[in-house]
Structures are given as structure tokens and as C-alpha cells.
Amino acid sequence: MNRWRDKRRWRTLQIIAALGIAWLLKYAQASPLMEIYYLAASPFTSNRQLLLEDRLTNARILELEHRLEELEQQNTQFKKLLGYQGSESKSGVIAPIIGRNVDSWWHQVILGKGSNEGIEEGYIVTGIGGVVGRVIGVTPNTSRILLISDPNSRIGAVVSRNRHVGYLQGKNSQTATMTFFAQVSDLQPGDAVTTSPISNLYPSGIPIGSIKSVRYDKGVTPEAEVELTVPLELLEWVVVHPFKPKLTINSRQQGTGNREQ
């Protein structure tokens, strides 16, 4: 009988202890056990925590440094463009390049300003160095630009030194091809090329580039490779200038009109 009572008493004590632990965990949210765990594990976790915090701090510092560097670069480009605009007509609209397709990098770009800023189709676009292209499409907030490096782009051009005229055609790179309208022989590497006075789509005298090399065996007239002045692959900001193209249906059918697009 005594053994049965001891066994029952021991079972009762176990139940009371279990209930007490359950109540403690419920109302203390296991904090005593967690404290014991943290005390036991702290020598190992403190170093890991410090290393983690150090890595996160270094990552944040690098992020801020890179952001600052990017802002400084953008600020430098913007200042140069403002200086460039100051030396040109002040009627231009400064616009950022917000879109460029990797598969057609040298063909077209999208600007972050449009008809709300007064931009219209036919307006010309310049950057630091000279001609960039012309506006071929406009929405209220964007403009689509045909770059002079696009093979579909043709510009009336003239060699400044000797006034030989021809047209410039893009070829998907930082160089373009200039084809002359007449047989000439006094072309030299380094000769400056600008937009022609007889150009229908651009005002005259805007820098395009300089002659890099000349080939006299391409046909009746020579063909020059022209290094474009504007670094088209690096552009982030441009200036859009008002211009009314002189190209008409009649001019497309005669003279140089059929060569300039």
C-alpha cells in the first residue's frame, strides 16, 4: 500500500512540475530558457554577429561611395553640356537619354523630354562635339532620335578646308562614310567635316567629325572614313535645337535630296 502511495505521489509531483513549466513558458515566453541558451552560445555568436555587422557596414559604405561617384560623374557631364550650350544657341532644350536598345545601340535613342517642352519632329540634336542626330518622333514626354551613326541616316556634309561636298552615312560605329559628289584628290586625314550649306535636314556649319582615311578605288568618286566628334556610345545628355527641315517632295527627286534622309 505504501509503495502505491509513493508512486501516486511521485506521479502527482511530475504532473504539477509539468504544469508549472508549461505556465512558465506561456507567461514568460520561454525567456529563462532563451537566456540560458544565449549565455551558452554567446561566445560563439558574438564574433559571427560582429563579422556580419562589419560586412553590412562595409557594403553600405561602398554603396554610398559608388552613389557619390555616379552623381559626381553626372554632375561633371551636365556642367560640360551647360558650358557647351552656353557657347551655342540658348534656345535649345537640354534632355537626358532615357532609353537605348542594346541590339540597336547605334541606331536610335529616346530622350526624356517631348512636345510638352516644345520639341517637334525635324529638330536637330547635338552634344559635346557636334551633331548627334535629329528628332523623328515625339510624345508629350519623350522624343525619338535617329543617330547619325544609323546606316539609314544621311547628312549633307562638307570638308571645311577645301569645301568639297558630299553626304555622310552612318555604319553602326563611331565612324561614318562620306561619299563625295565629284572626283577630288586633295583630301587629308584630319580634315574637319561639318554639315553642308546645302543640307536639307541640318543647319550648316555644325561639326560632324574629321577624316580618318580616304579610298579612291571605291568608284567614280572617293570615299572617306570619318571619325565622329561626338562620343555617341557614351552620351547621357544632349541638346535639342529648333529647326525646320528644308526637305520637300521636289527636293527628294532632284539634286542631293535623294541622298539625304
- Written as one letter, the residue type at 206 is I
Say yes or no to pLDDT of 76 above 80: no
Q: Which of 200, 236, 205, 203 is nearest to 127 (CA)?
A: 236
pTM of the entire structure? 0.66
**Average pLDDT, integer, range 46-58:** 72
Q: 84 or 249: which carries more pLDDT confidence?
A: 84
Say yes or no to pLDDT of 139 above 80: yes
- Do 209 and 226 meet the contact criterion of CB atoms below 8 Å apart? yes
What are the extents of the domains in the chain? Answer: 1-87, 92-261
Any idea which residue has 577645301 for its cell?
162
Q: In the prediction, which pLDDT does 258 show? A: 42
Contacts of 225 (CB under 8 A, 6+ apart): 175, 176, 177, 178, 211, 212, 213, 214, 215
Task: Name, of 29-38, 126-135, 213-222, the range with top average pLDDT.
Answer: 126-135
- Do 212 and 201 meet the contact criterion of CB atoms below 8 Å apart? no
**Average pLDDT, integer, range 80-108:** 79
Annotation: CATH topology of 92-261: Thrombin, subunit H (2.40.10)
- Do 112 and 96 meet the contact criterion of CB atoms below 8 Å apart? yes
Q: What is the C-alpha to C-alpha distance for residues 238 and 32, in angstroms, rounded to an integer? A: 66
- DSSP letter, residue 165: E
